[in-house]
Structure 1
Amino acid sequence: MNIVFKKLSKKKGFTLMEMMIVVAIIAIMIAIIIPTFKGALDSAYAAADEANLRAYYSEAMANSVLNGGDPEKPDDGSKITVNGVEYTLHGSAAYKVEKGQLIITYTPNGGGSAVTIPGGDNSGK
């Protein structure tokens, strides 16, 4: 009988309970990490969109000054072209021209706050 216990006690490896605990810890870590990465990705998309819209604004206003007339708004509000490169926005943008000034209002996906380009007071006071 003593021989049987010696054979069982020399077994190597993990028990089922230990494996279940490791899997549970990994699942909890994944549940915490995924929303964090999604938030960071949404912030990165919003920053890239805002930078592209500012470049589009600069190009449209420069063309307006050089060629005369009002600045052009894009045909499709979800796509803009800057220096011949087309960008697809991840948020939504609204364009309007007032007194020869292009005004862009950008709202990022994911519930961020709207940004007006150009910033500051556009009332003309």
Structure 2
Amino acid sequence: MQNRKKGFTLAELLVVVAIVAILVAISIPIFTRQLEASREATDLANVRSAYAEVMAAVMIEDTENEVKVVKLKQKKAKWQSHDPVTIGGVMHYNDQGDTANWIGYPVPGGECEVSYQPNSGVLFNWKGKNGTGGSEQKYTFNINCDMHAPLNKSGVLEMLGNNNNFEIDSNCTKSNMLPEIQAKIEEDSLLKKGTWAYLGDAKDRSKRYLFWTSVDISSDSVGAGKKIPVIISTADGRFYISETTTAIRKNTAGNYVAIADHLTPQQYRECLSEDKKYKNLQEAYDAYAKLVTDGTYPQYKDTLPK
């Protein structure tokens, strides 16, 4: 009688094992991609939700909720299933680099800090476990820093009252107002570099200015009477590139070199040229850097923040 319970031969078993191995090899990458896409979709949904919360807080002036941090779930750096990515009207490509509204890219175990910057709008700052993230940016400072926040938060404007042409210089170390402002300057702010001055009208934001230069004007190689390049930021969000002439300030507390001579309100306006106007700090700084590297002021190229 014929035996009908014969099993697989060794060759047949090897073929089956090979087929299963091929199927597994094909399916694992597909499953991994789908799993990462799912993580990215979750992260995008959470960041968009944080964006909505931040913008709502800005509208009702709820300063305590104008910054939200989202912990990321994705396990691979950059976007695997989306390129470009659009959040809150801000579009960004994987290899685009940093912009005024987007810093870095997602990294495993990282986070996204969503905030609002008065001069440039929403900011998505992608950070890593150590808080720095996968940024490829070229700046050694926070290019999205609010240049007027230290003055606004210091209480000095209230002290100035109706003064329509005040001057507060970073070199005036004997000033009783300067320490109040310095205490509000963030460690990664551009104001930690170079020389600066707040000038103008304490009440009218459109007539209040910040002058900044990378040049250490108090050094022996510069001093008073020298033309220097400056970035001018108005308190209502405009940016310009201009130049000033340094000057000696004399007072009972001690003399020092100021970023500009005494200016009238009309002379402030004369410093603002429409053909040298920029929409944010990043554009203004890039133009300034070009001016001192291969433009009018190559003697100051080594003064750029490093």
**Alpha-carbon distance in structure 2 between the residues aligned to 1:99 and 1:11:** 80
Residue aligning to 2:123 = 103
Residue 59 of structure 1 deviates from its aligned partner by 0.9
Say which of 86, 90, 115 aligns to 2:73: 90
Give the helix-richer structure, 1 or 2. Answer: 1
Q: For 2:46, give the aligned amino acid.
A: N
**Alpha-carbon distance in structure 1 between the residues aligned to 2:60 and 2:22:** 58
- Contact kept, 8 Å, 1:60 with 1:72, in 2: the verdict is yes
Residue 65 of structure 1 deviates from its aligned partner by 1.3
Which stretch has the larger CA shift, 30-39 or 11-20?
Answer: 11-20
Q: Over aligned residue pairs, what C-alpha RMSD do you find? A: 3.2
Unaligned runs of 5+ in 1: 1-5, 79-88, 108-122
Residue aligning to 1:20 = 14
Q: For 1:67, give the aligned amino acid.
A: E
TM-score w.r.t. the length of structure 1 is 0.58
1:41 equivalent in alignment to 2:28: no
- Contact kept, 8 Å, 1:64 with 1:70, in 2: the verdict is no
- Contact kept, 8 Å, 2:66 with 2:115, in 1: the verdict is no
Counterpart secondary structure, 2:60: helix
Residue 70 of structure 1 deviates from its aligned partner by 8.0
**Alpha-carbon distance in structure 2 between the residues aligned to 1:48 and 1:39:** 14
Unaligned runs of 5+ in 2: 75-109, 128-278, 281-306
**Alpha-carbon distance in structure 2 between the residues aligned to 1:28 and 1:45:** 26
**Alpha-carbon distance in structure 1 between the residues aligned to 2:12 and 2:122:** 63
Q: For 1:51, give the aligned amino acid.
A: A
**Alpha-carbon distance in structure 1 between the residues aligned to 2:65 and 2:116:** 7
Task: Count matched residues.
Answer: 94
**Greater relative contact order (Cα 8 A, min sep 6): structure 1 or 2?**
1
Residue 36 of structure 1 deviates from its aligned partner by 0.8
Q: Deviations over 1:78-121 (max 9, x none)?
A: 3xxxxxxxxxx1244254542173311559xxxxxxxxxxxxxx
TM-score w.r.t. the length of structure 2 is 0.26
- Contact kept, 8 Å, 2:113 with 2:125, in 1: the verdict is yes
Q: Deviations over 1:14-61 (max 9, x none)?
A: 101101110111011101100111011111111111111111110111
Which stretch has the larger CA shift, 9-18 or 41-50?
Answer: 9-18
**Alpha-carbon distance in structure 2 between the residues aligned to 1:62 and 1:73:** 11
